[in-house]
Amino acid sequence: DTRLAQETLGDTRLSQETLGDTRLAQEALGDTRLAQETLGDTRLAQETLGDTRLSQETLGDTRLAQEALGDTRLAQETLGDTRLAQEALGDTRLAQETLGDTRLAKETLGDTRLAQETLGDTRLSQETLGDTRLAQEALGDTRLVQESDLLLDVRRHQTGPRGVRRHQTDPGVRPSSGRFQQPFLPVTVGSPPL
């Protein structure tokens, strides 16, 4: 019912085949390709090609593929109701996506969206969209921005120690610890000490 063949040919090919309901083949070819295939309801293939591509595929209701291509792209995909992809591209962008009713990139779509993206221009953005938006961006000009849709009013006045709101002082007055304010006079070159 089953057949076991081990063949060593002049082209350095070794095949072990078990025939029946399932077939197991391990082949080492001169092009440095190793294939392990288990056929039946599911198929598992691990292939290493000369272009440095590694794929692990599990077929059936879901498919899992991990591919490392020559362009330094790593993809882990789980297909079915949802899809998970982690891709590292040559532009140094990492995306984690979960598709279905919601998508995580890191993105979660629906009422709110969370995205953390690191681009080649050294920009880091964390965004939470919905009623409020939080963005922290570090740009090449070393600028850090924190934004919130609910807190758009930039307060230019300070609050006293007992909750009393104190307006911004004049340019010539140096703010102190809250007890008193001492006037600050600029000293020019050659002026006598006060």
pLDDT digits (tens, 9 = 90+) for 37-49: 433 333 334 443 3
If we measure between CA atoms, which residue out of 150, 113, 83, 102 comes closest to residue 125?
A: 113
Select the more confidently predicted residue: 174 or 76. Answer: 174
107 and 40 both lie in a single domain: no
Give the best-scoring range by mean pLDDT among 7-11, 69-73, 107-111, 180-184: 180-184
143 and 77 both lie in a single domain: yes
Look at residue 190 and tell me whether its pLDDT is greater than 60: yes
94 and 71 both lie in a single domain: yes
Arithmetic mean of pLDDT over the chain: 40
pLDDT for 71 equals 33
Look at residue 85 and tell me whether its pLDDT is greater than 60: no
pLDDT for 191 equals 55
pLDDT for 46 equals 40
Polymer length of the chain = 194
pLDDT for 67 equals 40
What separation, in Å, do the N-terminal and C-terminal C-alpha atoms of the chain show? Answer: 110
Query: What average pLDDT score do residues 114-121 get?
Result: 36
Look at residue 32 and tell me whether its pLDDT is greater than 60: no
Look up the domain containing 99 and give its range. 60-149
Q: d(Cα 15, Cα 7) in Å, to the nearest integer?
A: 6
66 and 108 both lie in a single domain: yes
Q: d(Cα 126, Cα 137) in Å, to the nearest integer?
A: 7
| Residue 173 belongs to a domain | no
| Residue 176 belongs to a domain | no
46 and 3 both lie in a single domain: yes
74 and 135 both lie in a single domain: yes
Q: Determine what percent of the chain is predicted with pLDDT higher than 90.
A: 0
Total domain count, the chain: 2
In whole angstroms, how large is the CA radius of gyration of the chain?
A: 32
Give 169's pLDDT tier (boundaries 50, 70, 90). Answer: very low
Query: What average pLDDT score do residues 84-102 get?
Result: 36
Look at residue 142 and tell me whether its pLDDT is greater than 50: no
Q: d(Cα 95, Cα 93) in Å, to the nearest integer?
A: 6
Look at residue 79 and tell me whether its pLDDT is greater than 60: no
The CB density around residue 102, as the number of other CB atoms within 10 Å, is 12
70 and 44 both lie in a single domain: no
